[in-house]
Structure 1
Amino acid sequence: MGPPPKPDGQRRRRNATVAMTRLPAEGRQEPPPAYPLPRMTVKDDEGLAEVMAEREADLWAELWSTPQAVMWERTRATLTVARFVRFSVLAEGGNVKAATEARQLEDRLGLNPQAMLRLRWEVAPDEVAEQRQERSGRARKTARQRLKVVDSDAVAGS
């Protein structure tokens, strides 16, 4: 268990921690930027190339609506995100080298909890959604739950 922490004035290491960057819970609201990479070519299979292009477009749009996309826009990481999309689609097709590259870019782009912590990013709580959920939770009470506030002795005595 160990001893309790020392008071601030008695600590040896007084270096301040870096504050977390809060990302909006609703994500990035603007349309995604144009996809910067050329269309993938697949030898002898135009149908597969079309499927991969559609998957890239879907993943690209999905990623640019995340909270992390706000930081990508600030740091102009569009090409890095595009490479992540390309490698992810190739990895989905079974390419092991692409899977390795996608995993590394996932860390650099803050797409998993550990990477977000390392980058000092956190998603700000969505207070409006929490209040909305709280209100709807109150409205879902059954008639029996609502009547429980009435004293049973008072009802029996009347």
Structure 2
Amino acid sequence: MPATPKHDPVRRNARVGPVMLPAEGRKGDPPKWPLPGRMDAAEREAWAQLWATPQAVAWERLGWTRTVARYCRMMVQAEKRDASAALLGQVTILEDRLGLTPKSMRILLWQIATDEVGQKREQSEGARGRIKAVG
């Protein structure tokens, strides 16, 4: 006779909760460019923008600097008019791996922390502005 299942089974692969990423993004200068060769102007701009995102906090913890650099270099090339379908596909794959899409953020269990105090401040300032405009 089979054993009846436990009502409160112990998990062998304990689940981890979501990783909260700051809504204001990563602070500070981007890491040093890790790939050979110099960055061009478009790569430099994209590199700075990528490392200011909330996801960059997780990349830094995980040591994904080289992967982000590859994505940055490929993304700049993929945004050109004559980009190949293969390159566009590789960029899409890296976007998912780096948590740059809503679906990949869910899979990685990454969430953007909400700034509830800031939101309430904006709401109250907006309400005051509407009241002044009416009055």
Bin of the TM-score, shorter chain as denominator length: 0.7 to 0.9
Which ranges of structure 1 fall in alignment gaps of 5 or more residues? 1-9, 41-51, 147-158
Aligned to 1:70: 57
Counterparts of 2:122 and 2:97 in 1: how far apart (Å)? 33
Using the size of structure 1 for normalisation, the TM-score is 0.70
TM-score of the pair, normalised by structure 2: 0.81
Moved segments of 4+, more than 4 Å = 10-17, 143-146
The higher radius of gyration belongs to: 1
For residue 3 of structure 2, what is the aligned residue in structure 1?
none
Answering whether residue 55 of structure 2 is matched by residue 86 of structure 1, we say no
Aligned residues with identical type, % of pairs: 42
**Could you tell me which of 125, 128, 132 is aligned with 1:139?**
128
- Once the two structures are TM-superposed, the CA of residue 11 in structure 1 deviates from its matched residue by 6.3
Indicate which of 97, 101, 111 corresponds to 2:90: 101
Alpha-carbon distance between aligned partners in 1 of 2:61 and 2:130, rounded to the nearest angstrom: 45
- Say how many residue pairs are matched: 126
Q: In the alignment, is the contact (CA less than 8 A) between 1:23 and 1:124 conserved in 2?
A: yes
Question: CA RMSD of the aligned region, Å?
Answer: 2.4
Alignment gaps of 5+ in structure 2: 1-5
Cα displacement (A) at 1:123: 0.3
Q: Contact 1:32–1:60 at 8 Å: present in 2 too?
A: yes
